[in-house]
Homo-oligomer: A and B are copies of this chain.
Amino acid sequence: MTYADRYKAAGVNIDEANRTVEMMKAAVRATHTPQVLADVGSFGGLYALENLPAGPVLAASTDGVGTKVKLAAELGRWQGIGHDIVNHCINDILVQNARPLFFLDYIAAGKLEPEAVASVVQGMAQACRAAGCALLGGETAEMPGVYAEGAFDVAGTVVGLAARDNLWPRQAEMEPGDLLLGLPSSGPHTNGYSLIRKTVADRDLAQKLEDGQTLADALLAPHKCYVNEIEALLAAGIPIRGLAHITGGGFPDNLPRILPESLAAEIDTAAWEAPPVFRKLTEWSGMSPAEAYRVFNMGMGIAAVIPAGAESAAPAVLPGARIIGRLIPRSPDKPAVQICDLS
């Protein structure tokens, strides 16, 4: 569906050229790099492949934002959801050393609210633009009877480009003693929201946390995009052997995806302080810390495997980054990820 059609589908009269629609169109257009062949046909989006590396590989990922949309809908704050879906998808291919080319979205509801759609699309366009990614197209579906009253869903697909010889992880290069560099998250990102919503159901979302943020702001902080941080590490000559995106399942579920069978990861929880929102969520839900590390990113959205010695350059490039653990030989009787307080 073209964007013009989408505005119509959303109940927006494009002929009125109202300000919302114009803003949304301008936001989408602003993501269109010269590779986007926008004027040729309109059934699908077209993207010219240029400057291909040797051994070009496309990386692609589809994701949703989960029940974070419920919280956004309850608070009427949609724009961040657009950032969430784009950045979540981009990070999932960034960890394979791919860079985003374009993104397509899917927004569905029982009854589409034009302002909500416009806000989500604008958020997506902002996030796409910040990452040099074209918002190439998408679909807006109004499906009465499929979605609950007032509910909507947002999903998306990113397609990126990598060079076959540069793909991550490089498991053959990983060895005991390698360090895990944690890159700070902006909050729970898009994970654990069914539990979060249950936990805060009777709490005052306007309450201030220890860091001065309101609980609502902390919970709706958009999923962070790590493209620029990874580029900065690479530009500083820090060799990266693998990246794990710390999403649902936390360190225990996501680090093993990039480790060879022979290696385990030891996470030192004393290496950083989990931000206030994670401490409050853990306290209020009555979870054990071990459980919390299995549900949330606890303040670190990416873990990078780097060789020992390479860490000295990291803080200068990314002040928030921390060594949060290391690789050790894996024992058959121990889990692949050990969460310990080594202080």
Number of interface residues of A (CB under 8 A): 67
A110 nearest CB neighbor, chain B only: B148
Out of B59, B101, B108, which one reaches A58, CB within 8 Å? B101
The reply to whether A167 and B62 form a contact with Cβ atoms under 8 Å apart is: no
Q: Cβ of A98: which chain B residues have Cβ within 8 Å of it?
A: 44
Q: Is A168 in contact with B245, judged by CB distance below 8 angstroms?
A: no
Q: Complex Cα distance A337/B46, Å? A: 26
Copies in the complex: 2
Residue A63 interfacial (CB < 8 Å): yes
For residues 152 through 197 of chain A, which have their beta carbon under 8 Å from a beta carbon of chain B? Answer: 152-153, 155, 157-160, 162, 164, 167-169, 194
Interface flags for A30-73 (1: CB within 8 Å of B; 0: not) read 00000001001111111111001001111111111011011000
Residue among A105, A136, A137, A157 having the largest count of chain B Cβ atoms under 10 Å: A157
Q: Is A318 an interface residue (CB 8 A)?
A: no
Q: Is B159 in contact with A60, judged by CB distance below 8 angstroms?
A: yes
Asked if A96 is at the interface of the complex by the 8 Å CB criterion, the answer is: yes
Given known A41-B168, A141-B64, A153-B153, contact A58–B159 (CB-CB < 8 A): yes
Given the interface pairs A43-B245, A167-B40, the reply to whether A141 lies near B52 with Cβ below 8 Å is no
Look across to chain B and name the residue whose beta carbon is closest to the beta carbon of A168.
Answer: B41
In the complex, the answer to whether B151 meets A63 with C-beta atoms within 8 Å is no
Q: Are A41 and B257 in contact (CB under 8 A)?
A: yes
Asked whether, in the complex, the Cβ of A258 is within 8 Å of the Cβ of B153, the reply is no
Minimum C-beta distance from A174 to chain B (A): 13
Residues of B within 8 A of A49 (CB): 49, 52, 56-58
What is the bound-complex CA distance between A61 and B45, given in angstroms?
6
Q: Do A139 and B62 contact each other (CB < 8 Å), given the known contacts A49-B52, A155-B108?
A: yes
Q: Which of A128-145 contact B (CB under 8 A)?
A: 136-139, 141, 143-145
| Chain B residues with CB under 8 A of A143 | 64, 66-67, 69-70, 153, 194
**A137 CA / B69 CA spacing, docked (Å):** 23
Of the candidates B56, B63, B167, the one whose C-beta lies within 8 Å of that of A139 is B63
- Contacts A40-B96, A144-B194 known; A47 to B60 CB distance under 8 Å? yes
Q: Is A106 an interface residue (CB 8 A)?
A: yes
CA–CA, A173 to B46, complex, Å? 21
Question: Which residues of chain B are within 8 angstroms of A110 by Cβ–Cβ distance?
Answer: 148
For the complex, give the distance between the alpha carbons of A47 and B55 in Å: 11
Q: Is A92 located at the chain interface by the 8 A CB criterion?
A: yes
Report which of B43, B146, B148, B160 forms a contact with A145, defined as CB distance below 8 A. B148
User: Are B47 and A57 in touch, CB under 8 angstroms?
Assistant: yes
The docked-state distance in angstroms from the alpha carbon of A95 to that of B44 is 9
Whether B96 lies near A46 (C-beta < 8 A) is yes
Interface string of A1-35 (1 = CB under 8 A from B): 10000000000000000000000000000000000
